[in-house]
Amino acid sequence: MSNKPSLIPEEKIISKIIVIREEKVLLDVHLAELYGVETRVLKQAVKRNLDRFPDDFMYELTDDEVDDVVSQNVIPHRKYFGGAVPYAFTEAGVAMLSSVLKSGKAVEVNIAIMRTFVALRKMAVNYDELMQKLHHMEKEYGEKFSMIFDVLERLFTPENPPRKKIGYKKDED
């Protein structure tokens, strides 16, 4: 088994993962970008194999969900989808894409995406452990720790919208 560096940096994949219906998903436009194909090509491949994508693997966004994605600045505006209803792919749906998209690049990108999902799960476990320790310290040290805990909890709460990156931007981003 080879341990060669990932084709796509983990940070780039993480920046594309969003939460819809209380689940981490990747939108078809972002997957197409990662795979280096047009969105319509990705969607055609999926439509030819719809039996491989049950609702817990992939689903179309509702109008309200599209509006939420736009308002959260995940995409600039509705026109970004070219008039098509976007698909959201769960981790299982992304894994299934590897059986539909068979190019060498698609396989490598899929491996990178799956590794990123695993890393996010590990971070979530570490987050839960950290929060338990902080709650224990709050109980033990009372009021003094309470202020520090409130600030830390706000910083670590995943519901906070991602901040817009500032500074010099490379051409690859």
In a domain? residue 66: yes
Query: What percentage of residues in the chain have a pLDDT greater than 70?
Result: 71
Query: Is residue 67, in this structure, part of any structural domain at all?
Result: yes
Residue 154 lies inside a defined structural domain of this protein: no
Number of domains in the chain: 1
Residues 6 or more apart whose CB falls under 8 angstroms from that of 65 comprise: 20, 21, 88
Confidence of residue 2 (pLDDT cuts 50, 70, 90): very low
Question: At 1, is the pLDDT very low, low, confident or very high (cuts 50, 70, 90)?
Answer: very low
Task: Establish if 65 belongs to a structural domain.
Answer: yes
Question: How many angstroms separate the CA atoms of 143 and 173, rounded?
Answer: 44
Q: Is a pLDDT exceeding 50 seen at residue 168?
A: yes
Looking at the domain assignment, is residue 32 inside a domain?
yes
CB 58 within 8 Å of CB 88: yes
pLDDT surpasses 90 at 53: yes
The reply to whether 98 falls in a domain is yes
Residue with the bigger pLDDT between 96 and 163: it is 96
What's the pLDDT band for 155 if we cut at 50, 70, 90?
confident
Q: Is residue 152 in a domain?
A: no
Full residue range of the structural domain in which residue 42 is found:
10-122
Residue 115 lies in a domain: yes
Each residue's pLDDT tens digit, 70-128: 777 667 666 666 778 889 999 889 888 877 877 777 777 777 787 877 777 777 666 67
Report if pTM > 0.85: no
Average pLDDT over residues 151-166: 66
CB 93 within 8 A of CB 58: yes
